[in-house]
Amino acid sequence: MPETLGTREVKPPLLGVSGVEVRYGAIQALRGVSLSVGQGDVVALIGANGAGKTSTLRAVSGMLKPTAGTVQLAGQDITGQPAHTLVGKGMAHAPEGRGIFPNLTVLENLELGAYLRSDKAGIAQDLERMYGFFPVLRERQAQLAGTLSGGEQQMLAISRALMSRPKLLLLDEPSLGLAPQVTQTIFRILREVNAQGVSILLVEQNAHLALGLAHWAYVLETGAIVMEGTGQALLASDDVRKAYLGE
């Protein structure tokens, strides 16, 4: 059992991951990961390089089939279901490395985020919402996405994921390689998105930022959860400070 710090506010469950194992050939990347995200939660998953954070998100969003364990979304078992069927069930995953389409325009990237939707008015409204979050995307909407800076690409990746109107947003290291100011902007928007009712499962190496935003957080070490707690409690923990905050 992982060590638990602080008490968790009880919320209706949105995502439940239980005993999930993932292998890449001979390498076992996850050895029984269990975690949950409640409705309206921001849950952070922190851990060192190679701990299995990305693998966890992949197992949740259907990019990988777990070799054991179950994944539930809003009470429905979705274990091993292909990724493209989960978007319609309210999941959006902004993958590691952003995954924008460089030879499509910014607008085309955003429109692809709404691929499964047919409510034109709603899509136009959401597009405006994204441009409201990140005005630079409006300026660059006709530009090829490959010409954007790293920060702008991350904004695009998040916006594109939000265009499907997800209940649950999976984010893989949105701060990676970005200037502190850009990171701050992105985290401010994430807070706002969450306030509007979107639950977030956030993977971060920048533990400071992630724990500051998260209601609940998990610490992953070599494929297993070793500690969990409120963001504040983990921030205050000596172990976490030493291992992940460089103090």
Partner 1 sequence: MAGLLQHLINGLAEGTIYALVALGYTMVYGVLKLINFAHGDVMMVGAYVGYAAAFVLGDGALGSLWGAVLVFLVSILFCGLLGWLVERFAYRPLREKPRLTALITAIGISFTLSYGFQLKVQPEIAGKKVTLLPGADPRTFPEIITPAEWVTLHVPAPAPAPDEVDPAAPHDAADDFVEIIIWNWQVISFVIALALMGGLQVLVFRTKFGRAMRAVSHDHRVAALLGIPVDRVIALTFMLGSALAACAGILYAIKDTLIQPMLGVQLGLKAFVAAVIGGIGNVQGAVLGAVALALCEELVVGYASSSWRDAVAFGFLIVVLLLRPQGLLGRVQAEKV
Question: Residues interacting with ligand ATP, by CB under 6 A?
Answer: 24, 27, 29, 47, 49-55, 205
Q: Which stretch binds partner 1 (CB under 8 A): 59-67, 68-76, 147-155, 182-190?
A: 59-67
Cβ 58 to ligand ATP shortest distance, Å: 7
Examine residue 87 and tell whether it contacts partner 1 (CB under 8 A): yes
Q: Which does 50 bind (CB under 5 to 8 A by kind): Mg ion, partner 1, ligand ATP, none?
A: ligand ATP
Query: Which position has the token pair 């985290």?
Result: 187
State in angstroms the smallest separation of the CB of 111 from partner 1. Answer: 7
DSSP string for residues in 143-182 = SBGGGS-HHHHHHHHHHHHHTT--SEEEEE-TTTT--HHH
Please give the residues from 65 up to 104 whose contact with Mg ion meets the rule CB under 5 A.
96
DSSP character string of 55-121: HHHHHHHTSS--SEEEEEETTEE-TT--HHHHGGGTEEEE-TT----TTSBHHHHHHHHTTT---HH
Report the relative pairing of strands 91-94 and 13-24 from DSSP bridges: unpaired
Output the smallest distance, CB 49 to ligand ATP, in A.
Answer: 4
84 lies in the site for partner 1, by CB under 8 A: yes
* Residues found near partner 1 in the complex (CB under 8 A): 61-63, 82-84, 87-88, 92-93, 95, 99, 101-104, 108, 111-113, 115-116, 160, 164
